[in-house]
Amino acid sequence: MPLLPFVLRKHSSERNLRHEGPQKPRASRPTVPLPRTITEQLSTELYELILDHLDDTPTLLTCNRVCRSWAPRSKCLLLGRAVCRPLPIVSHGSLGAVTCAIPNPTAENNGIIFGTREGVYRGTRHTSPQTRLLSLNDVTQIEAFPNEDFFVCLAGGTLMTMSLAALNSGTLRDSDITRVSQHVSFFSVHWNNAEGANHRLCALKTSSLSTTMKIYDLNAINHSTNLVIYRELYIPIETHSLRFINATRVGVAVKKGGRVKGGFEVVDFNTTESQGLLDPDDPSHPGNEVKKSKSKPMNFFKAGSEYLVCYDKLGFFVDRQGRMVRGDRMMKWSQTASIFVLREPYLLVFCSTFIEVWNISTGEKVQKIMGSYALLNSPNAGESILVLSLSSGDVSEMLFRDEPTLDV
């Protein structure tokens, strides 16, 4: 897709010649087309942005027509290189701001359950309007356990549970809802699919001075599933994210200036002890880089035998002992990141005006998805990644190149 060579220059109009008289000829600029390796990577929007700065109307119109003729081929090339792209599923219309969503385990055709400021809804790509399942204020997080017929909802700071089947069928009554805990900031789930094992849920109550963690087990009693308290722990510092390492340990990102180096702590439920995720004696730890960029600890992910540690400005790998590995593969985001999601080997970094896609195997940025998006769920391995377009209000699923639905 080579760029047609043309000279960027102003032509004196008849009006200028009549009122200002003859002008001295200007030195002509060289007519050099951009290299093919560059033009093949540029989108049509960028061509038109460049052309908008031309003052010569005939040149602008001519080149604009040329650029528009490149549009189909440009889009084809861009999709061919794309690792992933958002595919709209539900346009929520005037149902209130969408705050969270999960795939609907009992529906087909890309059905989802999503929460808004006004309640919980069900929708699919082919149905409109959407169906309200539950009227609640300020729904911020939801999760479904289809094998246990169990649904968890966080609304207005209250953690509540109910039957998934009753919710989906529209037969749920207020008396069927169990309110488990209040003043909850958020929760995280550990999925344990081993035979005889229970899933585990950790609910956090955070303040500017401390964090209280309540760990629950999903227990089936008399053909009914309930949350049964397992442990309650106290951390004397504010935390803003949590991730299960295994059934008995979690890692939390603590407020800057915490007790441990790097801002990440690992908490053991059985011993109630905590320690830093990063080795404080590791000379290769990029502490100066973190301090210089004023990076805030955000989250971490288990990647094979290593951990990917993510700050809002950068990311790097550490081993099980907390020592930095792959020092040549430190990743620096183009903007301050707000949230991350891992779909190996790709890491999606959500920034204010775009999503960066990084290949963690190579440490390279492979794609930038323009637009403001918010992550709506905490997907497990292989589960759909659902995002909200802040410009259009559409709920979309991130489709990856290895999925047959990503058509080029």
Q: Is residue 257 part of a domain?
A: no
Distance CA 393, CA 390 (A): 5
Q: Is residue 307 part of a domain?
A: no
If we measure between CA atoms, which residue out of 86, 81, 83 comes closest to residue 357? 83
Angle subtended at Cα 170 by Cα 167 and Cα 171, rounded to the nearest 5 degrees: 90
Render pLDDT for 331-365 as a digit per residue (tens, 0 to 9). Answer: 999 999 999 999 999 999 999 999 999 999 999 99
The reported pLDDT for the residue numbered 366 is 92
The reported pLDDT for the residue numbered 222 is 75
The DSSP-derived string for 75-133 is HHHHHHH-SEEEEEEEE-TTS--EEEEEE-TT--SS-EEEEESSEEEEE-TT--SPEEE
pLDDT over 90 at 328, yes or no: no
Q: Are strands 239-244 and 224-235 parallel, antiparallel or unpaired?
A: unpaired
| Tokens 């009227």 -> residue | 135
Contact 341, 379 (CB under 8 A): yes
pLDDT mean over 384-391:
92
The reported pLDDT for the residue numbered 79 is 65
The reported pLDDT for the residue numbered 407 is 41
pLDDT over 60 at 17, yes or no: no
Please give the C-alpha separations between residue 389 and each of 117, 295, 355, in angstroms, as whole numbers: 16, 26, 11
pLDDT interval class at 401 (50, 70, 90): confident
Q: Is residue 53 part of a domain?
A: yes
Q: Is residue 34 part of a domain?
A: yes
pLDDT over 80 at 385, yes or no: yes
> Residue 62 — φ and ψ, nearest 5°?
-65, -50
Pinpoint the alpha helices (H) of 5-97.
14-20, 36-39, 44-51, 57-81
SS (H, E, C) 227-281: EEEEEEEEECCCEEEEEECCCCEEEEEECCCCCCHHHEEEEECCCCCEEECCCCC
170: tokens are 């529209």
Q: Is residue 379 part of a domain?
A: no
For residues 56 and 252, which has the higher predicted lDDT (pLDDT)?
Answer: 252
Distance CA 287, CA 278 (A): 11
The reported pLDDT for the residue numbered 30 is 53
Q: Is residue 303 part of a domain?
A: no
pLDDT over 80 at 377, yes or no: yes
The reported pLDDT for the residue numbered 326 is 81
Mention every residue, 6+ apart, whose C-beta is less than 8 A from residue 345.
359, 360, 361
Distance CA 139, CA 133 (A): 12
H or E, element range at 354: strand 354-359
The reported pLDDT for the residue numbered 256 is 64
The reported pLDDT for the residue numbered 40 is 55
Render pLDDT for 206-263 as a digit per residue (tens, 0 to 9). Answer: 988 889 999 999 998 777 889 999 999 998 888 889 999 999 999 999 876 556 677 8
Distance CA 298, CA 378 (A): 14
pTM for this entry: 0.78
Contact 365, 349 (CB under 8 A): no
Q: Is residue 165 part of a domain?
A: no
The reported pLDDT for the residue numbered 249 is 93
Q: Is residue 67 part of a domain?
A: yes
Please tell me the least confidently modeled range out of 61-70, 109-118, 148-157, 368-377. Answer: 61-70
Domain residue limits at 45: 14-21+29-81
Please report, rounded to a whole number, the percentage of residues in the chain having pLDDT higher than 90: 46
Contact 141, 130 (CB under 8 A): no
The reported pLDDT for the residue numbered 253 is 92
pLDDT mean over 156-167:
95
Distance CA 385, CA 374 (A): 11
**Terminal alpha carbon distance of the chain:** 17
If we measure between CA atoms, which residue out of 318, 324, 323, 356 comes closest to residue 340? 356
240: tokens are 């803003």
**Amino acid (one-letter) located at 158:** T
The reported pLDDT for the residue numbered 333 is 95
Neighbour-count burial of 199, counting CB atoms closer than 10 A to its CB (0-12 exposed, 13-18 middle, 19+ buried): buried
DSSP-derived secondary structure letter, 305 = T
| Tokens 């891992």 -> residue | 342
- What is the CA 363 to chain-centroid distance, rounded? 18
Domain count, the chain: 1
> Which residue(s) pair with 135 in the sheet?
119
- What is the CA 296 to chain-centroid distance, rounded? 17
Q: Which of 18-27, 35-44, 60-69, 239-248 reaches the highest mean pLDDT?
A: 239-248
The reported pLDDT for the residue numbered 123 is 85
The reported pLDDT for the residue numbered 263 is 87
405: tokens are 């639905």
pLDDT interval class at 131 (50, 70, 90): confident
pLDDT over 90 at 285, yes or no: no
Render pLDDT for 67-118 as a digit per residue (tens, 0 to 9). Answer: 666 666 666 666 667 889 999 888 765 556 899 999 988 776 668 999 999 9
Cis, peptide link before residue 129, omega less than 30° from 0: yes
